[in-house]
Chains A and B, each alone.
Chain A
Amino acid sequence: MPNLVLSDFEPILDKVATKKPSDHRRKTFWRNVFIALVLLFLFMPIIILVVFSFNSSKMNIIFTGFTFEWYGKLFQNENLLEAFRNTILIAVLSTTISTIIGTISAVGLKKYNFFGEKFIGKLIYIPIVIPEIVLGISLLSIFTLFKLELGFFTVLLAHISFSIPFVITSVRSTLYSFSPSIEEAAEDLGASRFETFWYVTLPMIKPGIISGAILAFTLSLDDVVISYFTAGPGTNTLPLYIYSNIKTGITPDVNALTTLMLIFTIVALLISSKIETKNALKRKS
């Protein structure tokens, strides 16, 4: 950023910033406008998406009239429903598996020194930082090498492998926040390592596990790139279904399904803020 320009503008800006009440009000106004514009930018396509779910034309191009018909047709579109079910199934399974593996891995990486620990510790960051496409093609290559038939299983495996690192980092952040002496105490009192892990460690890192699992679930739900490379002919996920239909035109039943999902998200949002204020009140009292 050139300093020249910076100092040139400073006097002007300082003048603007002199604190007269009316100036202040105007400033706040423009700030609110900016925030509103950013939000508008983020929501514009979503508004379009919702509006077109009520479009009477099959082509998602021009709005011809209002109808609810797509919300009914949605439940007759077997392919779409199957893709949706696969998506949820893969998300639930991959979240469960990657949460379990990720949690015990985080514990293992913290507690033990083992041969190649540093190396493994570095490896697990790779899926977080590398471009998804590289991860996708590398998994595709290795699956092909091992002659695995591309399908539900390979997509699941791929989702597990990109989710685990997110769970590990999430769990790790909670793992370092309590003292290992608590675990030691449990062991001194005669608990086995497994018992200590189950009754002491796990409850304490539960928040990290939950947030890791939620992250894994969202990532799996919306993944296009990695699924694209690892899915076979019989497996369709919702993102893949949309991707393969995007060129020929998405029918409004997809909009309807996404709108329903959006409504649920917003409801969830409201519920969570209710819970939040409740908790806040509790804490105050």
Chain B
Amino acid sequence: MKNQKIKYSVLLVSIVVFTMLCLIIKNNAPKEKAKTAYLNVLNWTSYIPDDVIADFEKEYNIKVNYGTYSSNEELLAKVSSAANGTYDLIFPSDYMIDLMIYRDMLEPLDSSRLSNFNNINDVFLHQEYDKDNKYSLPFLLATTVLLYDDEKVDHLSSYRDLLKPELKNNVILLDDQRIIIGALLNAEGFNANDTNDNHLEKAYEFYTELKPNIKAFDSDSPKSFFITGEVDVGLIWNAEAILAQDENPNLKISYPAEGFTLSMDNYAIVKNAKNVDAAYDFINFLLRDDICKRIIDEYPYISTNKNIKTVPDNELNEILSRGTYIENVGGDIKKYDKLWARIK
């Protein structure tokens, strides 16, 4: 059989060539200094610019192994399934901090080692999930917002507006179970952390009404759906919405009238982390004003740094008073898991 013969000869030659290519690249690559210190970070996708990490590596001579996740659930699964000491620094949100403290997965923070602690705005400290900030320090605040193209669709101000039949196949939602179920609950007038079976069923009914309008679920880069003109409406992270606006000025942001969820993402060190020193170095580095600025410029979430005003104070107060944090619901999480499986 001729083709078999060709196949293998092609492959053989390719191997030789690939290996050569690899060697060439190796020689051309800038000579790295031997980095003895490591830091294993697990963070949200699209959260810290690559060059910020590169600068940290240079400044501290620490090699950062940077992994990403797109939801708190994924983070939990990754950390709990990995061997002890696999990850050092993670960025869980509010309810996940609560859950991880309960599961004894976090290392208490030593405030004496947080040299840039004072840069944090007090309003973000002492939250319900970690009253004394024993395990966590607020990093960025994300909110869920409605984004819509003012040119193409009518003004949107509530979740109900998403049900309009003319929005068929034109809506993108975050791919995050607590956030989306929270929004569905809000839409039906319930609290975003409700675990009442009837209320959850109501939320599901709202979803079935909404379903024909949903184009896709995506948490990692919902902005690109707007930029490519794939959708005109979405329920997405604030930073993604702002970035999309940069590309298309017709896009408008609105906070849903029925209420919306807040996600406070925090620094936390994993229990039995191997590179605790490097983790503190990285936290202090990220707390620096100039670094915060660079992060916010690239990913415009709400910074917890008091020297950097991402949004005016009155707007911030309004967001904080109207939004709800997602809470740990303990064993009832099964209900959410189940509902999410039905939704997907």
Contact = CB atoms under 8 A, between A and B. Distances in A.
Interface of A: 59, 61-62, 75, 78-79, 81, 84-85, 88-89, 92, 140, 144, 147-150, 210-211, 214-215, 217-218, 221, 232-234, 244, 247-249, 260-261, 264-265, 267-269, 271-273, 275-276
Given A59-B224, A81-B29, A210-B8, A260 B87 contact: no
Contacts of B67: 233, 244
Given A248-B45, A272-B6, A147 B11 contact: no
A90 to B, nearest CB: 11
Contacts of B65: 233-234
Determine the main DSSP class of A at the interface with B: helix
B127 interface: no
A44 to B, nearest CB: 18
Given A149-B83, A264-B17, A247 B25 contact: no
Contact of A85 (B14, B26, B42, B50): B26
B153 interface: no
12 contacts: A59-B227, A61-B224, A61-B228, A78-B30, A89-B22, A211-B8, A218-B11, A233-B40, A244-B67, A248-B221, A265-B17, A272-B13
Given A234-B38, A260-B21, A247 B9 contact: no
Contact of B13 (A144, A211, A271): A271
Interface string B1-42: 000111011111111111101100110111000000010111
A148 B85 CA distance: 11
B17 A248 contact: no
B150 to A, nearest CB: 21
Contacts of A84: 22, 25
A275 B83 contact: no
Given A149-B86, A249-B224, A276-B6, A85 B22 contact: yes
Interface of B: 4-6, 8-19, 21-22, 25-26, 28-30, 38, 40-42, 45-46, 50, 54, 65-68, 70, 81-87, 218-221, 224, 227-228
A259 to B, nearest CB: 12
A146 to B, nearest CB: 9
A237 B281 CA distance: 27
A79 B50 contact: yes
Nearest to A95: B15
B11 A247 contact: no
Contacts of A210: 8, 12
Contacts of B5: 276
A261 B13 contact: no
A276 B22 contact: no
Given A85-B25, A88-B22, A272-B9, A144 B14 contact: no
A89 B5 CA distance: 26
